[in-house]
Amino acid sequence: MSTGRLTIDLDAVAANWRALDAKSDQGVQTAAVVKADAYGLGVGKVARALAAAGARRFFVAVAEEGAAVREALGPGPEISVFAGHMSGDTDMIHDLGLVPMLNSVDQLTRHFEALPGHPFGVQLDTGMNRLGLEPAEWAALRELVLAQGPRLVMSHLACADEPTHLMNRQQLDAFHEMTDDVDAPRSLAATGGILMGPDYHFDLTRPGIGLYGGLPFDKAQPVVSLDLPVVQIRDVAAGESVGYSNTWIAEHPTRVATVSGGYADGLARHVSNKAVMFHQDTPCPILGRVSMDLICVDVTHLSETPKALTILGDHQSVDDLADVAGTIGYEVLTQLGARYARYYARGRG
């Protein structure tokens, strides 16, 4: 086996869903966001594990993603689409029984004309200015929309990863103002909003990243581990260089392991000369540039010759690696490449 080995712990995903579910009151439903192939982890297996844990409502970004979720889950669970009802989506929405979260006047018109009586939700913009009806549009259309019985009225927080940010309170106030006299179920919180407490929970929460072991859910169980096999080991003399553009030069004799995995596998070039991998508990620095398919690592200090090195696992989370790369755990997860051998584990150890 020469490709990396990506292990995805489905029991940890289920445990994270239960832990987030337990953070809100009995009457609050906890959905599961499985967009972007369940944040890169494989939507079929992840959605089934979440359904087994008790999730009944799933969210995807675009209608196309709903097909794999419907196939994995069968007819029962509700699958909602954040992008709403786009032109060309009508058949998919109808045939797969998807619930579009309508976000503009155009979409409302399209939906009510193309699929009268088909379930839908509405997205309101409370300040993020990304998706959803503006307050004035909502004021003008709300009676008409509410008469059609939306399954959900939702908005999204821009700064929920910073609980003390004033934007959170402003969006909460705006959401109350726009929806307090609405009978339909309401939703404002993703993972960060759940952690900010019951004021933000309303009737339904929509966690994504927390299910997959990422911040801001710092109590999450880790979900992914990634081991890269060693392809070759060599001894480099002082003064010799390693990798493209000679960005690392040995100051003393160094034992270098070349592992299989690179930026084509989602391991950002930004971690060149910065990140570490692990042999059991021992950190091993990356030497030189990350290339497309290979990374060189300092193993001089190890007492044995490693067969593989670990880049994601107990000692380095997706957020740790993201910090080094100057990005966020969400991006590390969703970039994990298609080349890995993927193993779906039940339970750790």
Looking at residues 65 to 84 of the shown chain, list those that interact with ligand PLP (rule: CB under 6 A). 82
Report if residue 33 touches ligand PLP, rule: CB under 6 A.
Answer: yes
Residue 49 backbone dihedrals phi, psi, to 5 degrees? -65, -40
Nearest distance from residue 69's CB to ligand PLP, in Å? 15
Q: Tell me the C-alpha distance between 142 and 65, whole Å.
A: 29
| Residue 135: count of CB within 10 angstroms of its CB | 15
Report if residue 124 touches ligand PLP, rule: CB under 6 A.
Answer: no
Please, what's the largest Cα pairwise distance for the chain?
76
Nearer to ligand PLP, 5 or 35 (CB): 35
Nearest distance from residue 25's CB to ligand PLP, in Å? 19
Three-state DSSP state, 273: coil
Nearest distance from residue 12's CB to ligand PLP, in Å? 16
Report if residue 271 touches ligand PLP, rule: CB under 6 A.
Answer: no
Q: Of 191, 192, 204, whose CA–CA distance to 150 is shortest?
A: 204
Q: Tell me the C-alpha distance between 117 and 134, whole Å.
A: 24
Kindly indicate which of the ranges 10-18, 172-180, 190-198, 221-229 contains the residues binding ligand PLP, using the contact rule CB under 6 A: 190-198
Selected binder of ligand PLP within 132, 208, 243, 288 (CB under 6 A): 208
Report if residue 206 touches ligand PLP, rule: CB under 6 A.
Answer: yes
Kindly indicate which of the ranges 184-192, 276-284, 288-296, 306-314 contains the residues binding ligand PLP, using the contact rule CB under 6 A: 184-192
Q: Binding pattern to ligand PLP, positions 137-176, x when CB under 6 A?
A: -------------------x--------------------
Give, in degrees to the nearest 5, the angle at Cα 12 between 19 and 325. Answer: 100
330 is catalytic: no
Residue 182 near residue 138 (C-beta atoms within 8 A): no
The one-character DSSP state at 200 is: G
Catalytic residue among 244, 274, 307, 343: 244
244 is catalytic: yes
Q: Tell me the C-alpha distance between 257 and 223, whole Å.
A: 26
Nearest distance from residue 122's CB to ligand PLP, in Å? 13
Selected binder of ligand PLP within 190, 223, 228, 311 (CB under 6 A): 190
Report if residue 191 touches ligand PLP, rule: CB under 6 A.
Answer: yes
Report if residue 201 touches ligand PLP, rule: CB under 6 A.
Answer: no
Nearest distance from residue 253's CB to ligand PLP, in Å? 46
Number of residues near ligand PLP (by CB under 6 A): 12
Strands (E), 103-212: 121-123, 152-154, 186-187, 204-205
Enclosing H/E stretch for 14: helix 10-21
- Spatial CB neighbours of 109, under 8 Å, sequence gap ≥ 6: none
Report if residue 23 touches ligand PLP, rule: CB under 6 A.
Answer: no
Selected binder of ligand PLP within 84, 119, 207, 262 (CB under 6 A): 207
Q: Tell me the C-alpha distance between 150 and 338, whole Å.
A: 38
Nearer to ligand PLP, 194 or 286 (CB): 194
Strands (E), the chain: 5-9, 29-30, 32-33, 57-60, 78-81, 98-102, 121-123, 152-154, 186-187, 204-205, 224-236, 241-242, 248-249, 254-260, 276-279, 282-287, 294-298, 308-312, 341-345
Nearest distance from residue 142's CB to ligand PLP, in Å? 20
Nearest distance from residue 264's CB to ligand PLP, in Å? 25
Active site residues: 35, 244
**Contacts with ligand PLP, residue ranges (CB under 6 A):** 33, 35, 82, 156, 190-192, 206-210
